[in-house]
Amino acid sequence: MSQIKLQQLFKQYQYSFINYELDGVSSCYHLPCTLNTPDKIVLLSSQADCLEEFSTIFIQLKEANTSNIIAKKASFEQISKQLYLVCIDWGFIDGQGQTFADFAAIYHVLDTDGVLKIINVVSHELESSLTLTEPLSW
């Protein structure tokens, strides 16, 4: 059951990114939450913070002519009754079908009464990717 719910969460996440749907992406996150990249850490405390941050990300993706976002590898591990660790290796594809960005994202996902939401994401180079105990298929 947890695998199905995680698949649904990340399929919605992927779909919302590909289609630049702010509400779809923001609905995948628990607020407050944190986004961590090698360059910065962002605390999203409100829906307005979330929309502002993802609007900026969407502008960057549009400028790169993103045509697709693919999950190259995904796995998860249940840490506790309410917490999951998920690692997904993402590939961002441009209009010419070339990968212009790829990275590993490690998510902490909270289960609140059966509703899964991301509470933290850490993005790293692919060399930092993790293979967790359970595969997460698309």
Question: CA Rg, the chain, in Å?
Answer: 14
Alpha helix stretches (DSSP H) within 1-138: 2-18, 22-26, 47-63
SS3 128: helix
Q: Kindly give the confidence (pLDDT) of every residue in the chain, 138 residues in length, as a single tens digit, with 9 standing for 90 and above.
A: 689 999 999 999 999 999 999 999 999 999 999 999 989 999 999 999 999 999 999 999 999 999 999 999 999 999 999 999 999 999 999 989 999 999 999 999 999 999 999 999 999 999 999 999 999 987
**What are the structure tokens assigned to 5, written together?**
């719910």
Tokens of 101: 């960005």
Give φ, ψ of 100 to 5 degrees: -105, -15
Q: Round to whole Å and give the CA distance between 121 and 85.
A: 10
Q: Which domains does the chain have, with CATH numbers?
A: 2-133 (3.10.450.50)
